[in-house]
């Protein structure tokens, strides 16, 4: 899928980024700029919110918490003890 830059100001910015970053072409310059902006935006999300998202994802993948689960019994069965 192609990205066409139809705005002269945006094209000029891409050329400047290409020159300053020594990117081999405008496509690579735009890729780097977008990757950097994405990283900056992700870092702007508070750490506690990023951690909560990870915790929620882990909980969804792990299934429900079973407080009465006997890990020793499970491990013994796994090792035929």
Q: Is the pTM of this model over 0.85?
A: no
Would you tell me the crossing angle of helices 8-21 and 26-44 to the nearest 10 degrees? Answer: 90
Q: Does residue 46 lie in a domain region?
A: yes
Each residue's pLDDT tens digit, 17-31: 999 999 999 999 999
Domain count for the chain, please give it. Answer: 1
Range of the domain at 25: 8-63
Q: Does residue 40 lie in a domain region?
A: yes
Q: Does residue 21 lie in a domain region?
A: yes
Band (65; pLDDT cuts 50, 70, 90)? confident
Alpha helices in 2-70 (DSSP H): 8-21, 26-44, 47-62
């Amino acid at each position: 899928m192609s990205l066409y830059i139809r705005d002269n100001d945006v094209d000029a910015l891409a050329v400047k980024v290409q020159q300053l970053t020594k990117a081999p072409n405008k496509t690579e310059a735009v890729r780097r700029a977008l990757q950097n902006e994405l990283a900056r935006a992700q870092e702007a999300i508070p750490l506690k919110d990023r951690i909560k998202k990870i915790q929620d994802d882990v909980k969804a993948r792990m299934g429900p918490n079973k407080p009465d689960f006997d890990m020793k019994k499970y491990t013994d069965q796994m090792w035929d003890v």
